[in-house]
Homo-oligomer: A and B are copies of this chain.
Amino acid sequence: MRKVAVLGIGSTPFGVLKDKSLKEIATTACNEALNDAGIRREQIQAFYLGNYMYGFVSKQESIASMVAENLGLKKEIEQASFSGGIAFRHGWLLVASGLCDFVLVAGVEKMSDLPRETITSIIASSMEWEQQGKFYLTFPGYFGIIAHRYMHEFKVDMDAIHNVSIKNRMNGVKNPRARFRKEITLGQIKSSRVIADPLRLYDCCPNADGAAAAVLGPADIAHKYRSDMIEILGCIQSSGHSSLYAIEDPTTISSTMYAAKAAFSMAGLTPRDIDVVELYDCFSINEIITSEDLGFFKKGTGAIALREGRTEMGGDIPINPSGGLLSKGHPPGATGLGQVYEMVKQLRGEHENQVAGARTGLIHHQGASSEVAIVAILRKRY
């Protein structure tokens, strides 16, 4: 397997992008990534596009090829529409295997023009439904149950979990790509409405429109294109249980644990080597259990580490300096590549909310309840 580098990145802001079509925002992010990489579009040998809900709502599938036409990519490339971070993982695989040199991976979602009921129903379709549908469990309910169990098991209160939202909203203030850029207080969170007990409005990531993209290429020739090379040291996709009733321990996401172990092993690193993390904080509770499952803190101590400031800016392992999904918003097809964008900016030392001296970073992306997790470890090579 060859070493793979991220040569270019592009992203629209995440938020409400009413006046642009889905194809337009995807094209914008892709063009930015191509320009940033400084390679010609004729060099692109494959294009993978992540999207989740467009096919459901627009009667239009196969959008990868339409965006490729907008971009003026060559015809004879490999193309596919994937969901979320899977585009990144499989783009990496094409380059790592030696099958392709330059690959464009992107993700896009448009949610602001959809009724809320439609969004809820489409998102819930990613949950196991045969069993869980019986009691109308959707994602907020699922993570609410996990939060209850976590509090019971490890004797923490809900305030300790709300701290995730306070920290991430504070980080998001500096990020021009974040949907929400205002600090929030514990009081505001506690007086916001309950979405699924014990989770309140500010414990849940907001919907968003957005697109993000990256150009991947072989690390051994990356210096021809950029002086600051961001290398992908490890990239693993793993699966877990598809429903709550099959999970032995609801305070652990096994797919995250498996993917992290394998990614660290592939990279030849340990959690101590990581300077900065972008992880999937779809709900506040998920940042806490994920910070444990990734190996940064012992199980049951993530909320304490957060309270001690270890995961905030200036802490020993800053998590979600971008503001995370809780600030940026969550356009499902785009979020995985959005995390890549934020991390590459961090490792280049160019982030609006820069972690000083960050050289090695970890990205964690999750799909559905806990079926799929992707962990990638990136490092700046001097």
Q: Spell out A's residues near B (CB within 8 Å).
A: 1, 47, 55-56, 58-62, 64-66, 68-69, 75-83, 86, 90, 93-94, 96-99, 121, 124-130, 133, 236-242, 246, 254-255, 258, 262, 367-368, 371-372
Known: A61-B126, A94-B93, A237-B80. A69 touches B121 (CB 8 A): no
Asked if B121 and A372 sit within 8 Å, CB to CB, the answer is no
Asked if A239 and B77 sit within 8 Å, CB to CB, the answer is yes
Number of copies: 2
How long is the Cα–Cα vector from A66 to B125 in the complex, in angstroms?
13
Asked if B97 and A240 sit within 8 Å, CB to CB, the answer is no
9 CB contacts below 8 A, A to B, read A60-B128, A60-B130, A64-B371, A66-B128, A76-B239, A78-B238, A79-B239, A80-B82, A80-B83
A254 nearest CB neighbor, chain B only: B75
Q: Given known contacts A75-B254, A90-B93, what 6 new A-B pairs fall within 8 Å (CB)?
A: A62-B126, A64-B371, A66-B128, A75-B241, A75-B258, A96-B99
Asked if B121 and A59 sit within 8 Å, CB to CB, the answer is yes
Asked if B61 and A125 sit within 8 Å, CB to CB, the answer is yes
Known: A1-B99, A80-B372, A254-B76. A242 touches B65 (CB 8 A): yes
Asked if B238 and A65 sit within 8 Å, CB to CB, the answer is no
Asked if B62 and A368 sit within 8 Å, CB to CB, the answer is yes
Partner of A239, one of B75, B124, B126, B129: B75
Set of chain B residues within 8 Å of A128, measured between Cβ atoms: 60, 62, 65-66
Set of chain B residues within 8 Å of A62, measured between Cβ atoms: 126-128, 242, 367-368, 371-372
Set of chain B residues within 8 Å of A246, measured between Cβ atoms: 69
How long is the Cα–Cα vector from A61 to B53 in the complex, in angstroms?
11
Asked if A59 and B238 sit within 8 Å, CB to CB, the answer is no
Known: A1-B97, A99-B93. A125 touches B60 (CB 8 A): yes
